[in-house]
Structure 1
Amino acid sequence: MNAHTEARQVAGPAGPLELAIDHPPGAARGVAVVAHPHPLFGGTMHNKVVQTLARACVAEGWQAVRFNFRGVGASGGQHDHGVGEQDDLRAVVQACAASGPLVLAGFSFGGAMAARVAAALATERPLQALVLVGPAASRYPMPALGEELAARTLIVHGELDDTVPLAAVLDWARPQGMPVTVVSGGEHFFHGRLPLLKRLVMQHLRALA
């Protein structure tokens, strides 16, 4: 993301996992782990939406950890259709944020993975926040988050997203009483809307500080 991004590898369930870590100027509030979009459609930790999420976290004082799912970049293993990828995300959390305040964030496929792992982790440890951008609710089963985690969740979706229809996200959020922030005129990759997305994420993290 910048000249000060730290490259690192950690052990994953299917081989090493490639990480990129960005640090805030002062002492970090905690760790934010950011998950990228679908590996079979060009998704990597260098995706612009993923980098925007990381920048927003760093701006609010969080250490941001991006990583490549199995089979992407220098990460070992092969794509596992959203099953093993949850284990990858858990392995990164365990390696980089085994204790202390934790934020999970994800875009598209990564949003679905972050939601699933967050729902599971909520029974083990509290999450400071969950940030889901264009979560792939039409393509992967999405979990019930529970009242406490739902209250700490930001969902942002493009009005004109033709990869993950807005209706699918609303259908998931509605029974849980979760608001969805709709970016008018926005599509799946938030072209021209990344500064707005960054502000929305920063506001959410600041409100929960």
Structure 2
Amino acid sequence: MSTRENPVSIEGPSGALEALYLDHPDARGVVIICHPHPLLDGTMHNKVISTLQRVVRDAGFSTLRFNFRGVGRSAGSYGEGAGEIDDAYAAAQWLLERHPGVPLTVMGFSFGACVAGCLAGRLEKEGQSLTRLFMLAPSVERFDVEGKLPLRCPLTVIQPEADEVVTPEKVYAWSESLQQSHELIKVPECSHFFHGKLTDLKALVQPRLD
């Protein structure tokens, strides 16, 4: 099996979205991955996003990561969060059309974690079955996800304890306020971008892939 991702162009609400797609011939599921903030150098090539892609690839999943509007070769400009959720929805529809009936996992990091959560909530409301939602260092203090998350999809939140970008205590308080059952994993001595902790991140994600 080839582990090489192929560049693809996806029609988004503001024009073409640049993406990388890996089609696993015997995929046990499909995964879409959302990158950090577009205005803070976030792209689909971020090292945390790349690490997530490799973990799920090696576990036998087909994968899709993409650039939000205005990033890389993606058309458009920053959409204040709402536009990026629409981008993620278009990308998810593209992926699901190619893998009908295959279980979907949604992942995101930082700003992308909140986009991923809102995407999962929208898909769940439409009746789409979701295997799991992973939210890494979600920027919930700056991105309103209230009432937008899925209620039935299993949720794993992974938060670095030494995060210098997202306030850990704000994430912990948000986690406490959630009505749905979920798992909060605190990563000790870990910065926002998981410097020196990417192997630990792999070890946390891999056993939670259903």
Same fold (TM over 0.5): yes
- Tell me which stretches of 4 or more aligned residues in structure 1 moved more than 4 Å: none
Counterpart check, 1:18 vs 2:21: no
Corresponding residue for residue 70 of structure 2: 71
Residue identity over aligned pairs, in percent, reads 38
- Per the TM alignment, residue 67 of structure 1 is displaced from its structure 2 partner at its CA by 0.1
Determine the C-alpha separation between the residues in 1 that align with 2:182 and 2:146: 13
- Per the TM alignment, residue 137 of structure 1 is displaced from its structure 2 partner at its CA by 0.9
* Residue pair 1:59, 1:202 contacting (<8 A) in 2 also: no
Corresponding residue for residue 90 of structure 1: 89
Corresponding residue for residue 182 of structure 2: 178
- Per the TM alignment, residue 169 of structure 1 is displaced from its structure 2 partner at its CA by 1.2
Determine the C-alpha separation between the residues in 2 that align with 1:110 and 1:83: 12
Corresponding residue for residue 51 of structure 1: 50
Query: Structure 2, unaligned stretches of length 5 or more?
Result: none
Corresponding residue for residue 9 of structure 2: 9
- Summarize deviations over 1:102-129 as a string: whole Å, max 9, x none: 1110000100100111112112212011
Corresponding residue for residue 161 of structure 1: 163
Q: How does 1:180-195 map to 2 (within 5 A)?
A: 180-195=184-199
- Summarize deviations over 1:116-167 as a string: whole Å, max 9, x none: 1111211221201111111111110123435422xx1111110010211111
Letter matched to residue 203 of structure 2: R
Corresponding residue for residue 204 of structure 2: 200
Determine the C-alpha separation between the residues in 1 that align with 2:109 and 2:146: 16
Query: Structure 1, unaligned stretches of length 5 or more?
Result: none
Counterpart check, 1:134 vs 2:133: no
Corresponding residue for residue 117 of structure 1: 119
Letter matched to residue 176 of structure 2: R
Determine the C-alpha separation between the residues in 1 that align with 2:78 and 2:62: 27
Determine the C-alpha separation between the residues in 2 that align with 1:116 and 1:171: 19
TM-score normalised by L of structure 2: 0.91
Q: How many residues align?
A: 202
Cα 1:96–1:147 shift into 2, 3 Å: closer
Determine the C-alpha separation between the residues in 2 that align with 1:30 and 1:10: 20
Over the residues paired in the alignment, what is the CA RMSD in angstroms? 1.6
- Per the TM alignment, residue 178 of structure 1 is displaced from its structure 2 partner at its CA by 2.8
TM-score normalised by L of structure 1: 0.91
